Amino acid sequence: MPPLAPEIELRTSPHFHSNRSVEMIMRNVVYALLPLCAFSVWNFGLSALALILVSVLSCLVTEHLFCWLSRRKSSLGDWSVTITGILLALTLPPGFPLWMVAVGGFVSVGLGKMAFGGLGFNVFNPALVGRAFLQACFPTAITAYSPALAKNRFTEFIPTTFTPPFLQPPPLADWIERVRVDAFSGATPLMQQKFDKVTADWQPLFFGTVSGSAGETPALLILLCGAYLAARNFMDWRIAFSMLASAFVSGAAFHFLNPAVYPHPWFVLLSGGLMLGAVFMATDMVASPVTPTGVWIYGALMGLITVVIRNLGGLPEGVMYAILLGNAVSPLIDNLTQPRVYGVHPRRRTA
Amino acid sequence: MTGAHLVQAPSPSENYETFFNGLWKQNPVFVQVLGMCPTLAVTNSVRNALAMGAATLFVLVCSNMLISLVRKRVPKQVRIATYILIIATFVTIVDYLIKALSIAVYKALGPFIALIVVNCMILGRAEAFASRNPPGKAILDGLGMGLGFSFALLCLGAVREVLGAGTFLGVPLFGPRFQPWVLFLLPPGGFLTLALWLLVFRAWQSRKERKQEQWRAAA
């Protein structure tokens, strides 16, 4: 008698399966980041390419090392560490010394991710942990920006790129004098606005042909890449939207209180790392809240903090700290905004 | 504690254990995580770390000895006050000593010399060890704990000075164009370095335990 084949398969929930895996989502985020990398290389030249490659490589090596040390299967295959590497590179100045980039990659993955137990356990966005570490360690190097669309950018590197390990990067002023195509003084649009009260036009900001961190300049391209992710539902568009909207509204409030000092809300939206941060970093799936009301509060909080730091703080840019603060309070937001469980008495919280 | 303990001289292996307990197995910083205030505050250079380690070592050995000597005469109800008084006396001596020896070190350590009084490691040793053991063992314990503490401060100070200033004991290691890692001279750098060393020690410890277990299982 042949063995009876089970006609009904008995299983516990979930019964509904989709073909989505961590690996597939992360790979798509990498695809969405590639156009930004390409633009960055076109805008800033060979140095940006070296920056991105070294950053990704150091993140991959660190992840592999930590997996080996803790005797786990290597988690390079889930692509999340590649995203961390690319994002870290995109938030650094294009001529950032490569040895510092490698340090940043190590700190991002080692301290920001693996020390907490790997993907899914990190409290903060790993790339921003690395960048915050670099900002605290090397405050001068991380504010040494180079001009966009410099002459010879495809034939020579920015002189600071190949600084020997542990040594200071050389001053950039002479090199900038030689390669610049316009009246670039070594300041990004944000710095010019804050310190010289010169507000840039919207077109270069929108299309990205300005100085700044390697991948933060092209607002239009970032929005398009984000739209791809949002359309395929790989990214929570509500977080990005509420962060940008909140920055716009609070920027407008500041502007109409004192137009001479505070920039126009469109400038707030298009300048600096706000777009990149809102679309690719605030939406980090691990470090952001999950409740329907929570994501709106989370985004709005980060947008507000960004504008407050930019307008009232000593730094020209506040997106990084805003997102890190948002990450820090996201478990709290989750706790406070638990939706009512269906069928449970409305007054009684189940948490 | 048995009566025989107080009459008999302790065996050499017991002395050895008392001494190395503080140095390694019960290291005040890396294992007991005590005395965090000076550990984080004054380890931004090797010189400060060594000075603080030496000052604490002196206070710990002297106070352990004296407390052990008077342990049978002090009523139980006022023992903590007595310990603090004894510790404070030696801290005052150390305070004047450092001021006399090097005014630069005195200024660098600032209020943290006086704060040795409230280093919970010292009071902890007084209560947990010196008040229950004869003076010889108490001195050995003080030496072990003090050296263990100094060793831990040195570990932190070395990392922070080499990365934060590019020097070791004031000697430049990387030449004049060194890029300082500013963070390591600031308080967050202290926390990060401490976490790093704790990680190293815990990893080492768990590895050793795993090996011992394997060995036991094989035997």
SS3 B167: strand
pLDDT, mean of residues B138-155? 95
The residue length of chain B stands at: 219
Task: Provide, as residue numbers in chain A, all residues whose Cβ is less than 8 Å from the Cβ of B175.
Answer: 167
pLDDT of residue B126: 93
Residues 6+ apart with CB under 8 A from A174: none
Same domain, A191 and A330: yes
Same domain, A175 and A191: no
Where b means 16+ CB within 10 Å and e means fewer, A156-193 reads ebbbbbebeebbbbeebeebbeebbeeebebbbbbbbb
- For residue B83, the Cα-to-chain-centroid distance in whole angstroms is 18
Same domain, A206 and A310: yes
pLDDT in tens, A74-121: 888 889 999 999 999 999 999 999 999 999 999 999 999 999 988 889
Determine the Cα–Cα distance for residues A262 and A251; give it in Å rounded to an integer. Answer: 8
pLDDT of residue A347: 61
Is the pLDDT at A133 greater than 50? The verdict is yes
Whether A8 maps to a domain, the answer reads no
pLDDT, mean of residues A43-64? 96
Of residues A72 and B162, more confidently modeled: B162
| Pairs across A and B, CB distance < 8 A | 32
Nearest CA in chain B to A136: B183
Whether A342 maps to a domain, the answer reads no
pLDDT of residue B4: 46
SS3 B172: strand
Determine the Cα–Cα distance for residues B194 and A24; give it in Å rounded to an integer. Answer: 38
Same domain, A109 and A199: no
pLDDT of residue A201: 84
Q: What are phi and psi of A146, to 5 degrees?
A: -115, 160
pLDDT of residue B25: 84
Worst-scoring range by mean pLDDT, A2-11, A87-96, B105-114? A2-11
Whether A75 maps to a domain, the answer reads yes
Q: Structure tokens of B59?
A: 């206070």
Q: Structure tokens of A279?
A: 């679309």
Whether A124 maps to a domain, the answer reads yes
Same domain, A229 and A243: yes
Same domain, A87 and A130: yes
Same domain, A211 and A168: no
Is the pLDDT at A348 greater than 60? The verdict is no
Minimal CA separation from A24 to chain B, in Å: 33
Same domain, A57 and A164: yes
Same domain, A78 and A221: no
Which of B177, B183, B203 faces A137 most closely, judged by CB atoms? B183
Q: Give the A window 67-96 contacts with B, CB below 8 Å.
A: 69
Best CA proximity match to A36, nearest among A237, A225, A241, A188: A225
Same domain, A172 and A220: no
Strand-pairing partners, residue A36, are none
* Residue from A107, A140, A167 to probe the interface with B (highest B Cβ count within 10 Å): A167
Determine the Cα–Cα distance for residues B75 and B82; give it in Å rounded to an integer. Answer: 9
Minimal CA separation from A168 to chain B, in Å: 4
Residue found under tokens 């008040």: B131
Is the pLDDT at A341 greater than 90? The verdict is no
Which of B177, B183, B199 faces A133 most closely, judged by CB atoms? B183
Nearest CA in chain A to B165: A166
Give the Å distances, CA to CA, from B39 to A200, B27, B45, B121, B160: 49, 13, 12, 11, 12
> Which amino acid, A9?
E
Name the average pLDDT for chain A: 90
A85 Rama sector, left if φ>0, alpha if ψ -120 to 50, beta otherwise = alpha
| Contact (CB<8Å) B183/A167 | no
Is the pLDDT at B131 greater than 90? The verdict is yes
Determine the Cα–Cα distance for residues A6 and B138; give it in Å rounded to an integer. Answer: 74
Specify whether the CB–CB gap between B113 and B94 falls below 8 A: yes
pLDDT in tens, A203-219: 888 998 889 999 999 99
Nearest CA in chain A to B178: A167
pLDDT of residue A1: 58
Same domain, A68 and A91: yes
pTM, rounded to two decimals: 0.89
**Count of domains observed in chain A:** 2
pLDDT of residue B9: 63
Same domain, A152 and A289: no
pLDDT of residue A346: 62
Domain that holds residue A52: 20-144+146-182
SS3 A31: helix
Of residues B72 and A20, more confidently modeled: B72
Q: Structure tokens of B28?
A: 């005040």
- Give me the DSSP letters along B96-128: HHHHHH-HHHHHHHGGGTGGGGG-HHHHHHHHH
Is the pLDDT at A339 greater than 90? The verdict is no
Is the pLDDT at A241 greater than 80? The verdict is yes
Q: Is A167 on the interface with B (CB under 8 A)?
A: yes
Is the pLDDT at B190 greater than 70? The verdict is yes
pLDDT of residue A344: 73
Determine the Cα–Cα distance for residues A349 and A340; give it in Å rounded to an integer. Answer: 7
Q: Percentage of chain B surpassing pLDDT 90?
A: 66
Q: Percentage of chain A surpassing pLDDT 90?
A: 66
